[in-house]
């Protein structure tokens, strides 16, 4: 594997009398050990100098089963930013997997660097060996910057890789069911906001029409919605507009999109899309999109609620992809996975009901339900079962 460095920070069930030394300047370690958002079981720093691999694997929780989450390949501004992203994403996966009814905990990996210039077979194989070193505690899959073909390479070094090609026994592109699940969540939001679980006649703005966004466009067009899109890649926008003349239009960027008269705003690119400026400018009364970690900071969910904007928590509605790759571990069956992803509609409705009952924003209600399932270690067969049912 070349010169490798593995740093392992693990939380065990045995209490320790040794307090970790945390520098005030080290926001990542402070978050890991001190904050309410911490509590990660294990963080592994991986390096293979021969291939140029620098990666972080973060396991937030294995209470419900092996941690499951994708591998992001991104050119971070700093190594600390990469670690913090891995921590945030891993925690989000714990909650996502819990509310998706999966018997999996949450984990995430990030590979640091520009995938267009750094990605190689040698690097992916080295990364696969690090996944193998965790002995099944972490199951990986695709994420931003990694694709089915990449997972086929990673899987050559370990058996805990999903999102592989059908030719290699995998489920293929998980963005198919991710988009389907977002559509189900959007239908639930429409039911609450307008009384009918359909987007027919509604105007939906999608920021990002890449892996997931372009599939979401198809669902919305088929449902009778008018769609407005934007993306940093002009060719992707042009291709979709040409495919649906008169049904899909485009604007120059996300800032213009949020100010465009909309019924629904769907962030489907990178996280942090819902910041103070965006929330203040939104014309839509529903936000439901595929991007992870959409809330730029704590408190944004209350700002949305105060403006009368119904927010469908991102990690709830975008769980179709993880449902798909989790099914791969049992011998992939698309119809079985799609049937489970269809339940995102019911789960989203349950969260809206809980939010109303508790008098809290939907994001808070979703967190409470996820934390309840993790704390109780509730099996998937019992998850959200109606009271009094057999």
Partnered with residue 73 across adjacent β-strands are: 111
Q: How far apart are CA 335 and CA 324, in angstroms?
A: 10
DSSP state of 381: G
Q: How far apart are CA 72 and CA 136, in angstroms?
A: 19
Q: How far apart are CA 29 and CA 319, in angstroms?
A: 28
Coil, strand, or helix at residue 198?
coil
Q: Report DSSP letters for 332-344, one per residue.
A: --HHHHHHHHHTH
Coil, strand, or helix at residue 64?
coil
Which member of 31, 54, 96, 108 is catalytic?
A: 108
Binding-site entries for NAD(+): 208-213
Nearest alpha-carbon partner for 303 in 326, 282, 325, 328: 282
31 carries an active-site annotation: no
Burial-class residue 294 by CB neighbours within 10 Å (0-12, 13-18, 19+). buried
Tokens for 235, please give them. Answer: 């060719």
Strands 310-311 and 286-287 come out as parallel
Binding-site entries: 208-213
Q: How far apart are CA 254 and CA 277, in angstroms?
A: 12
Catalytic amino acids? Answer: 108
């Amino acid at each position: 594997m070349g010169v490798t460095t593995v740093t392992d920070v693990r939380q065990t069930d045995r209490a320790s009398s040794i307090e970790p030394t945390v520098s005030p300047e080290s926001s990542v370690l402070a978050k890991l050990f001190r904050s309410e958002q911490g509590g990660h079981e294990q963080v592994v720093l991986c390096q293979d100098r021969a291939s140029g691999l620098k990666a972080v694997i973060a396991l937030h929780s294995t209470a419900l089963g092996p941690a499951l989450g994708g591998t992001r390949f991104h050119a971070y501004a700093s190594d600390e930013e990469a670690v913090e992203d891995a921590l945030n994403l891993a925690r989000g996966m714990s909650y996502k997997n819990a509310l998706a009814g999966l018997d999996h905990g949450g984990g995430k990996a990030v590979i640091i660097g520009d995938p267009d210039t750094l990605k190689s077979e040698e690097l992916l194989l080295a990364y696969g060996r690090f996944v193998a070193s965790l002995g099944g505690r972490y199951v990986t899959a695709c994420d931003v910057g990694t694709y089915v073909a990449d997972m086929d390479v990673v899987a050559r070094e370990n058996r805990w890789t999903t999102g592989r090609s059908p030719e290699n026994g995998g489920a293929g592109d998980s963005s198919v069911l991710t988009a389907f699940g977002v559509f189900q969540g959007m239908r639930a939001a429409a039911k609450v906001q307008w009384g009918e679980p359909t987007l027919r006649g509604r105007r939906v703005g999608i920021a990002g029409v890449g892996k997931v966004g372009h599939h979401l466009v198809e669902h919305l067009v088929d449902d009778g919605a008018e769609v407005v899109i934007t993306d940093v890649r002009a060719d992707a926008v042009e291709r979709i507009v040409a495919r649906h003349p008169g049904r899909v239009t485009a604007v120059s960027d996300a800032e213009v999109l949020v100010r465009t008269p909309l019924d629904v705003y769907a962030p489907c690119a990178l996280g942090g899309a819902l910041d103070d400026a965006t929330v203040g400018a939104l014309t839509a009364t529903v936000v439901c999109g595929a991007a992870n970690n959409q809330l730029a900071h704590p408190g944004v969910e209350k700002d949305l609620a105060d403006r009368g904007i119904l927010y469908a928590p991102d990690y709830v509605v975008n769980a179709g992809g993880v449902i798909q790759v989790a099914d791969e571990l049992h011998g992939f069956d698309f119809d079985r996975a799609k049937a489970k992803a269809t339940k995102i509609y019911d789960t989203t409705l349950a969260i809206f009901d809980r939010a109303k009952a508790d008098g809290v924003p939907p994001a808070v209600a979703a967190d409470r339900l996820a934390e309840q399932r993790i704390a109780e270690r509730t099996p998937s067969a019992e998850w959200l079962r109606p009271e009094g049912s057999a």
